[in-house]
Amino acid sequence: MPLASSDVRRSQGNNEVRQAQRRGPVSGSNRQAPRPLPGIRYVGNRPWDTRTVLTACTALLLAGEQFASTAARISANASASLPASRTPFGPAGLRAITDARQLRALPSPADGLGTARAFPAGLLSGFRQPLAELAEEETLAVAEESMGGGSSLLWQGIAAWLASPCTDFDQYVNGFWKLQHPASSEMPSFFGDARRAVAAGLEDRLSRASLQAVGAEGAIARIRANALSGSGPQWASFVPRLDAINALSNRADVERHICTGMAQGRESVLGLERYFHAGVMVADIALRPEEQRGIYRQPATHPDVVAYLERIAGLLARTGMTEGEAVVAARTVLDMEKVLAQAPDHLGAYTQAEADAALPGFPWAAAWQALGLDPAIPLHTSIEACRKVRELLSTRSMDDWKMFLRFQQALRVAPYLDGRIDPDMFLPWLESTRGGALALSAWYGDGADPALAQRATQIFDQVREVFRNDVAESSLPAADKAVLESVLDAAIVSVAYRGSGSDWSRLQASDHLLDSLQALATMEVREIVAIIGNDRSAAAAPLAHWIALETHVIDRQVRVSPAMLATLAAASGQSPEAEWGMLGALLGHELAHLLADEPGLSQQGEALLEQEDAAIQQRIDDLWIGQAHLDAPRVLEEAACDLRGLSAAQRAGEAEAELAGRRFDPPRFFMAAASLHAANPTRAQLERQAGEDPHPPGPFRAELARQLQGFDQAFGCMPRPTAPFARILPRAPQPASSNPG
C-alpha cells in the first residue's frame, strides 16, 4: 500500500507524552504561520513558477471534481459512511495543517468527545479514482508505493501544499520535488539528479572537444574519433601484438614479455591493479572472475567446460589460426589456466630481495625494472600465485606459451575489436576501459572553477573553528581536549583529483583504436606505480567527475571532488545560507567523523562521548516514516555526524554574516540542508535502507534538521519540551557569577 504524507512523523517521546497529558505545549504544534522568505512569494513552500502554477491548478481542479463525485455517491446511498480516520502515532494532540495563508486544526470525526486534534490522514485516503478516471495522463498516473500524500500524484501535490515544517519538514521542503520525481525501481534522489547533470555536462563538452587540444581533452577527442570512425575497429590492428608473441624464442623472452606487458597496459599473466589505496601485482591476471572459476573444477565433459573450450577456439580462430589448430590450442590454454587457479589468495608485501628469497627463480628483477621501481620499495603480490607462474615457465614449451599468450591478448582486445560503439554510449564505454575514468577525471577537473575550491577551503576553516570552540568549552578532561584539538589542527580539506598529476602529453593517441586504448591503460599503470611509490595524493584522491566527499582518518583529510563542489554551488545559487546548509553541513559532517574516530581519548573522555551519543540516539529513536523505523544503534554515527555538522555550519554561517554586517536567514539554511537529502523511495526501498544501511534514508535525514537549535524560532513552531541540539559536545558547567544581582 502507498504511504500517506501524514505518516511521515516524529513519534512523541515519553517526556512529550507526559507533557501532552498535562495539556501543555507539545512539540510539533504550530504557533504561527511560517514567515515568508523576503523577496519571494510562496505558495505553500515553493515559488510561483510555471511548473508550480500548473501543479497547483491541476490539483485544485481535480480535488473539486473528486469531492463532487464523492458527495454525489454518498448522497445517492444513505448508508454510505466515511472511512475510519487514522490517528497520529502517540496520544491525541494538535496536528496542524499549514499553508502560507492560514493555520487551522480540524476536529476528527472519529473523536466522540469533540476534542481538537489532527485532521485524519485516512479521511482522504479512501477517496481514490481508477487510473482511467485521472485523465489517463502519465503525469497523474498512480505512483505505486510512492512516499507522497497517497497513491496518486494528485494527493502528493495536496500533501506537499499543506505540509507543515513543524511536523513534516521533509514533505514541506521536498514535497513538490517528489511530485516531479515519482518513485521507481531506481530511487530518485538529489545526488542521482546531480550525477545525471554531470554526465549531461560531459556530453555537451564532448561535442566541442578538439582533436588539436593538448592534455586529456585531445586524447579523449582522438579516441572518440577512432572509436566512431566509419571503418570501425579491425582485427588487423591485432597483428603487431601477434608478431611480438611469435618472435619469442626462449623462457627469458617470455619472462620479459609478461613483465613489460604489465607495465605497458597489455597484461597477459602478470598485471598491476589498484586495490583501495594500494597497488598490487596480480600473478593470475589470466583467470576469469570468481563466478567463472568453477569451470576449472569441472570434468572435461561438463557442458560449461565444453562451451568454454569452444569459446577459446573461436577466439583463437579470429586471430588467424585454422579451426583444427584452434581446437588443439584451446585444451592447452585451459590446462595452463587450471594450474594458475590452484594458487590460494594470500597477499604480502615484499622488496625485491625479500621476494627473491621467498621464491627463487621467478623474474623479480624484470618486474621491478619494468615498473621503474626501486628494489627497496615493497610490492604487494601473492608468492603462491607467482609459484604457479614459475611452474608453467619451467614445464611448458614455447609453443604452449605462444598459444596461451595469444589467447590472453585476444581475450582482452576482443570487446574493442568486435562490433561498433553507439555514439550516445561513448562516455560510459570510455569509463569502462582501463584508464578511461582517469582521462575523464583529468579532463573534467581541468575545467573546474578554482574559486569553488577556494571557497570550500574558507568554509572548512570556519566550520573547524566552531568545532575548536566547542571542544575548548566542553566538559572533557584537559588531556582529551588537547587530543581533539590536535586532530582539528591537522585536518585539511583536499580538492585534488585523480589524473591531475599525470603527464597527458605522453599519451600518444594513434589512428588505431587498440593502440590508443593501450596508451590510455599505460597512464593508469603509471598512477598505480606512483601509489606504490607512496604518492598519497594519487592514492586517495577521488575522480573529478564523480560526486564524491570522503574522509580519511589516517591522514586526516576531507576530500571533495570538483563535481561535488560544482553541484552544491549550482544548487545553492547566490544564497549564502543555502551554501552553508549544503557544503558547510557536509564538511562539518566529515569533521565530526574525524573526532568520532579518534582512538586516543581517556576512559573518562570515552564515557562522556558515549553519554552524548546515547542522548543523540534517544533523539533519533523517535523518528518514524509510515511503518519504517530507524535502527538507532546502526545509524547513530552517521546521524550524530549530521547533527554536529549542521550545528557547526549554522553557527559558522551566522558568524560570517555578522562579520559582513548582513542578516543570516535561518529558514533558508534549514531548507537547503533538507533539500540535500531529497529522495522518493518506495515502501520496500525505505524499509530496506532503514533496516540495513548505516546511513539514515533521505527522508529521515531531512527531518533531523528539526532537532537543531533555532529551528522552532525560524518556522514559528511551538518550543519542544526537549532541549534542541546546540553544541558538538556537552558544555562544561559555567561558574556562578560573583555578583548575580
**Cell numbers found for residue 152:** 496518486
Q: Cα separation of 256 and 369, whole Å?
A: 10
Is pLDDT at 22 greater than 60 in this prediction? no
Over residues 378-400, mean pLDDT = 93
What percent of the chain shows pLDDT beyond 70? Answer: 74
Pick from 348, 385, 388, 504: which is nearest to 441 by CA? 504
CA atoms within 13 A on the CB side of 586: 27
Lowest mean pLDDT segment, chosen from 50-54, 279-283, 553-557, 565-569: 50-54
Is pLDDT at 249 greater than 60 in this prediction? yes
Q: Cα separation of 582 and 1, whole Å?
A: 33
pLDDT of residue 646: 97
Residue where the block lists cell 566529515 = 590
What percent of the chain shows pLDDT beyond 90? Answer: 43
pLDDT of residue 541: 87
Lowest mean pLDDT segment, chosen from 23-37, 50-64, 211-225, 343-357: 23-37
CB 156, CB 146: distance < 8 Å: yes
Pick from 587, 633, 285, 226: which is nearest to 420 by CA? 226
Is pLDDT at 4 greater than 60 in this prediction? no
Sorted by where each starts, the structural domains of the chain and their CATH numbers stand as 5-180 (no CATH), 211-233+422-447+505-536 (no CATH), 253-417 (1.10.1380.10), 448-500+541-715 (3.40.390.10)
Over residues 457-481, mean pLDDT = 95
pLDDT of residue 67: 60
pLDDT digits (tens, 9 = 90+) for 280-306: 888 877 676 665 677 888 888 999 899
State the CB neighbour count (10 A cutoff) for residue 108: 22
pLDDT of residue 105: 28
Higher pLDDT, 288 or 49: 288
pLDDT of residue 188: 94
Is pLDDT at 614 greater than 60 in this prediction? yes
205 CB burial (10 A radius; 0-12, 13-18, 19+): middle
Higher pLDDT, 49 or 452: 452
Q: Cα separation of 177 and 677, whole Å?
A: 11
Is pLDDT at 431 greater than 60 in this prediction? yes
pLDDT of residue 334: 93
pLDDT digits (tens, 9 = 90+) for 587-600: 999 999 999 888 88
Pick from 8, 307, 27: which is nearest to 173 by CA? 8
pLDDT of residue 90: 30
Indicate the pTM of the whole model.
0.77
**Cell numbers found for residue 44:** 505553500
pLDDT of residue 60: 67
pLDDT of residue 142: 37
pLDDT digits (tens, 9 = 90+) for 482-513: 999 999 999 999 999 998 878 887 776 677 78
pLDDT of residue 192: 94
* Phi-psi label, residue 573: left if phi above 0, alpha if psi -120 to 50, beta otherwise: left
Is pLDDT at 537 greater than 70 in this prediction? no
Q: Cα separation of 6 and 625, whole Å?
A: 9
pLDDT of residue 594: 92
What is the 3 state secondary structure string of 336-373? HHHHHHCCCCCCEEECHHHHHHHCCCCCHHHHHHHHCC
pLDDT digits (tens, 9 = 90+) for 305-358: 999 999 999 999 999 899 999 999 999 999 999 999 888 878 899 999 999 999
Over residues 406-430, mean pLDDT = 87
Strand bridging mode 557-560 / 492-494: parallel
State the CB neighbour count (10 A cutoff) for residue 283: 26
Over residues 535-543, mean pLDDT = 73
Over residues 686-703, mean pLDDT = 88
CB neighbour list of residue 234: distance below 8 Å, 6 or more residues apart: 417
pLDDT of residue 514: 84
pLDDT of residue 82: 33
Is pLDDT at 544 greater than 80 in this prediction? yes
Higher pLDDT, 141 or 177: 177
Over residues 12-37, mean pLDDT = 37
Name the band, by pLDDT with cuts 50, 70 and 90, for residue 182.
Answer: confident
pLDDT of residue 64: 64
Q: Cα separation of 98 and 199, whole Å?
A: 39
Q: DSSP for 177-229?
A: HHHHS---SS--BHHHHHHHHHHHHHHHHHHT--TT--HHHHHHHHHHHHHT-
Give the number of residues written for the chain: 741
Over residues 425-431, mean pLDDT = 91
Q: What φ, ψ does residue 167 adopt, rounded to 5°? A: -120, -35
Higher pLDDT, 247 or 84: 247
Name the band, by pLDDT with cuts 50, 70 and 90, for residue 687.
Answer: confident
Name the band, by pLDDT with cuts 50, 70 and 90, for residue 440.
Answer: very high
Q: Cα separation of 531 and 524, whole Å?
A: 11
Q: Cα separation of 577 and 37, whole Å?
A: 12
pLDDT of residue 562: 97
